[in-house]
Structure 1
């Protein structure tokens, strides 16, 4: 079921109500909404953890490569030690940043289920307005007619302007 809301506050309040009632929901908005993350129970910390792990692994890997190369192929320059932190610092920092960025982007895409080239909601006639000025909320209904009727009634109670059945599974 896909519900259309005409105001951001209505979407946030409806999402909070439906989530509190135990429905699995997904929201779509043309811009970020204050309070929507709390209303849908979003508390995912996977991206910051992945960024930290990516930074540490990227920096450690490149430092190990540089140290290994200098130890395997020693070149005595002015009596300096073979493995020196100041000499490796710039490349280590850059690869740490690269690892953090790649891990963050990869985790964000994976957690958002992207890239998804087709979504059943794309078939809904008014869903293109989700990138313009309308707010949408989708409820997963697994083909059960009674559950679909309950979902439709719940969406109308939350102040939806329009409710349509898109006919396919919405949330993976």
Structure 2
């Protein structure tokens, strides 16, 4: 058998999953994964998500798109190919605003999608949990908690006992 990926526990309700996550975090586990068929209030906070990397990258994409567009228009109208048409100034910034806004939105959208994919570790076509026959219920009506074996506090016996005290429907070791 290959190296273990972690310990998978199946719960019937979202409240039981939330309690299991809180108990695991209270016992020092830091690499805890939770899977639910719908959004569970308080689950992200219980798992310890505090990062705002997607928002920061989205803002950076918007700034880069907007600034790049504005500078491209300014350079082409003022430096590279200046045309004095109708006595208007070369740096006619009001006419630069619509494309600047549009490409700022486009840059933000691209950055948001790309940073979300990177933060989620996607695309990942094969995951060790896909080998568990019951795991397909995570998208229908069951709630799963996985304690990763790569966590420094992970110990098969203690972790199994901690999860067993919560009376899961299933408790299984998953191979990597």
Give the TM interval when normalised to the shorter protein.
over 0.9
Uncovered stretches (5+) of structure 2, i.e. residues with no partner: 1-6
Q: Does the 8 Å CA contact 1:10/1:159 hold for their aligned counterparts? A: no
Matched, 1:86 2:94: yes
- CA shift, 1:53, in A, is 1.1
2:88 and 2:166 mapped to 1: Cα distance?
72
Match of 2:109 among 86, 101, 109: 101
1:159 and 1:51 mapped to 2: Cα distance?
42
Uncovered stretches (5+) of structure 1, i.e. residues with no partner: none
Matched, 1:16 2:22: yes
Aligned residue in 1 for 2:61: 54
TM-score by length of 1: 0.92
Higher strand share: 2
Matched, 1:118 2:126: yes
Cα RMSD between the aligned structures? 1.6
TM-score by length of 2: 0.90
Aligned residue in 1 for 2:4: none
Matched, 1:154 2:162: yes
2:56 and 2:134 mapped to 1: Cα distance?
37
